[in-house]
């Protein structure tokens, strides 16, 4: 779940990271007022959940409050990677001597957070790592043991930074690690972190991604920052389809039937089970299919919930058939999901036998589930058919109709 | 009114017995039963298909008092 820049900075402020004076403007008048309060030249930045703002012209500088109001009006309509901002961050312009990069993210291979530091900030860190590897350090940290500033010092020092800069950068890097660990983030990034002409350090730009599953734990924090529960905060704004998917999940506490992501294919997916969603989505694509959506079901959703998710997927224009597939389930009942998807087809005015390309959910109560599917003429299979093969069967049904 | 997959038949004597009705309301995990003002039993039709076939209702009353019918078995 991605935070806007101003929200990331609000989180950084809680950990004492150094920030410039700023305010969030929703109108030209507000931009003028904030610039006047700052009393110095300002930079105005479009608040979108995407990079590429500078290239798109959505970052502008203003020397006076009136110029700030004009810059606001120029920035707001600019679409950055398909996103239009609702607000603009007005921040004091800083005289920069040098830019650095500090980031903490999750190293999936090592299964640990990793602190990344570079004394070449302001540009893409991947590019720096490729072209100037000696200017990038990677330091893994523990999620179990307390984090010590010594590790931060090693990370900064590994790029050749010494003296007062090393001493000033160390607590900043350490604070960023603390933010990452405390708030269950998957990314905490400052780029650039600027050393000003007077020697002070200031966070110029920052980004934060929070683990979606941690939303409930940090509900109070999110409320305080102003992130509403219905905001999915993915890399792009949610589509209507995705918003309705979140509503389906939220409407019933039983199980999970949500995390819906929209794609432009013709095969609707009702998939899940302990990583099964990702595996099955990939399997459909490897088999040459075009998924209409991604979703996750599990934890024994109610019949109603599975039904509503099915109806939602079938309501998407272009969806010809759905594939209902999971890994072997133990805590989700096959018969309950079978009832839900069959009911969803019927309530959508569709014949389940024609609509469900394949039902591949083996496991708990499968015999009961298979009776239901047999009654409605739906093709189903048990665990002797792999997920990959099941995906192939679904795709083949669409291919047979000449639609893939 | 039956559900799409499940129907529940309750003996008239059980349905009109407030104590039996109370028991059925208590045991059903998916709220298929409701009690009208502490009196007779009402079947909540929209919850019928949520039945998890736990048989708790069957065991809560005298034998034959409640029958859970799998409509897809017919």
Q: Which two tokens stand for residue B3?
A: 């559900």
Residue with tokens 């990793």: A114
* Closest-CA distance of chain B to residue A350, Å: 15
Predicted local distance difference test score (pLDDT) of residue A404: 53
- Point out the residue among A304, A333, A375 whose CB comes nearest to the CB of B72: A375
Within A183-275, where are the H helices?
219-225, 240-250
Residue with tokens 């708790």: B56
Predicted local distance difference test score (pLDDT) of residue A237: 74
- Point out the residue among B50, B52, B72 whose CB comes nearest to the CB of A372: B72
B19–A contact, CB cutoff 8 A: no
Sign of the C-alpha dihedral, residues A244, A250, A253, A258?
positive
Predicted local distance difference test score (pLDDT) of residue A125: 82
Q: How far apart are CA A335 and CA A364, in angstroms?
A: 8
Predicted local distance difference test score (pLDDT) of residue B4: 96
- Return the residue in A302, A332, A339 with the most chain B beta carbons within 10 A, the one to mutate for interface testing: A339
Residue with tokens 């009911």: A343
- Cross-strand pairs, A201: A195
Q: Where are the domains of chain A?
A: 21-92, 96-225, 240-400
Residue pLDDT, tens place only, A119-166: 998 878 888 888 988 899 999 999 999 899 999 999 999 999 999 999
Residue pLDDT, tens place only, A31-40: 999 999 999 8
Predicted local distance difference test score (pLDDT) of residue A235: 67
Q: How many CA atoms lie within 13 A of A279 on its CB side?
A: 14
Residues A223/A225/A227/A228 CA torsion (nearest 10 deg): 30
Predicted local distance difference test score (pLDDT) of residue A400: 67
Q: Where are the beta strands (DSSP E) in A35-111?
A: 42-46, 59-62, 79-80, 83-84, 88-92, 96-107
B69–A contact, CB cutoff 8 A: no
* Coil, helix or strand at residue A181: helix
* Coil, helix or strand at residue B51: coil
Contact criterion met (CB < 8 Å) for B70 and A375? no
Phi-psi category of residue A274: left, alpha or beta, with phi > 0 → left and psi -120 to 50 → alpha: left
Predicted local distance difference test score (pLDDT) of residue A155: 96
How far are the Cα atoms of A173, A206, A303 from residue A215, in angstroms, in the given order?
24, 20, 26
Fold that domain A21-92 belongs to in CATH? Dna Ligase; domain 1 (3.30.1490)
- Each of the 74 residues of chain B gets a pLDDT tens digit; together they read 789 999 999 999 999 999 999 999 999 999 999 998 878 899 999 999 999 999 999 999 999 999 999 999 98
Which residue from A minimizes the CA distance to B71?
Answer: A372
- State in words which class domain B6-73 has: alpha beta
Range A240-400 classified under CATH 3.40.50.261: yes
Chain CA centroid to CA A9, Å: 18
Within A76-189, where are the H helices?
125-131, 149-157, 163-182
**Per the CATH hierarchy, to which homologous superfamily does domain A96-225 belong?**
ATP-grasp fold, B domain (3.30.470.20)
Pick out chain A residues at pLDDT < 70.
Answer: 235, 400-404
Rounded to 5°, angle at Cα A313 from A293 and A370: 105
A372–B contact, CB cutoff 8 A: yes
């Amino acid at each position: 779940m991605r935070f806007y820049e101003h929200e990331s900075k609000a989180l950084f402020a809680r950990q004492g990271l150094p920030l410039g004076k700023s305010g969030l403007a929703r109108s030209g008048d507000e931009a003028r007022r904030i610039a006047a309060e700052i009393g110095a030249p300002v930079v105005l930045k479009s608040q979108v959940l995407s990079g590429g703002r500078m290239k798109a012209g959505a970052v502008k500088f203003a020397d006076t409050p009136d110029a700030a109001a004009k810059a606001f009006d120029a920035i707001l309509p600019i679409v950055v990677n398909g996103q239009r901002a609702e607000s603009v961050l007005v921040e004091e312009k800083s005289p920069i001597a040098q830019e650095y990069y500090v980031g903490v993210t999750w190293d999936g291979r090592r299964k640990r957070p990793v602190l990344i530091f570079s004394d070449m900030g302001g540009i893409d860190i991947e590019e720096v790592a490729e072209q100037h590897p000696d200017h990038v350090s990677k330091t893994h940290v523990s999620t179990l043991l307390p984090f010590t500033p010594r590790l931060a010092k090693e990370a900064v020092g590994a790029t050749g930074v010494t003296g007062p800069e090393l001493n000033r950068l160390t607590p900043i890097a350490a604070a960023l690690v603390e933010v990452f660990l405390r708030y269950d983030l998957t990314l905490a990034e400052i780029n650039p972190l600027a050393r000003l002409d007077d020697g002070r350090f200031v966070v110029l730009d920052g980004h934060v991604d929070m683990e979606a599953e941690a939303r409930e734990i940090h509900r109070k924090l999110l409320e305080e920052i102003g992130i509403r529960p219905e905001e999915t905060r993915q890399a792009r704004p949610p589509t209507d389809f995705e918003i309705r998917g979140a509503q389906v999940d939220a409407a019933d506490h039983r199980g999970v039937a949500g995390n819906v992501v929209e794609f432009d294919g013709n095969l609707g997916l009702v998939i899940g089970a302990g990583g099964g969603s990702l595996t099955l989505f990939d399997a459909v694509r490897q088999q040459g299919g075009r998924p209409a959506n991604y979703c996750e079901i599990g934890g024994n959703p109610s019949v109603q919930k599975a039904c509503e998710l099915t109806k939602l997927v079938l309501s998407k224009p272009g969806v010809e058939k759905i594939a209902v597939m999971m890994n072997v389930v133990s805590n989700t009942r096959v018969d309950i999901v079978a009832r839900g998807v069959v009911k969803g087809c019927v309530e959508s005015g569709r014949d389940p036998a024609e609509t469900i390309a394949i039902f591949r959910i083996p496991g708990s109560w499968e015999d009961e589930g298979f009776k239901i599917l047999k009654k409605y003429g739906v093709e189903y299979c048990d665990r002797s058919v792999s997920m990959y093969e099941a995906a192939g069967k679904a795709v083949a049904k669409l291919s047979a109709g000449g639609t893939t | 009114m039956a559900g799409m997959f499940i129907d529940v038949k309750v003996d008239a004597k059980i349905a009109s017995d407030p104590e039996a009705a109370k028991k059925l309301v208590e045991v059903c995990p998916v709220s298929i039963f409701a009690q009208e003002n502490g009196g007779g039993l009402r079947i909540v039709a929209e919850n019928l298909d949520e039945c998890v076939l736990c048989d708790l209702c069957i065991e809560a009353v005298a034998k034959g008092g409640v029958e859970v019918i799998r409509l897809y078995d017919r």
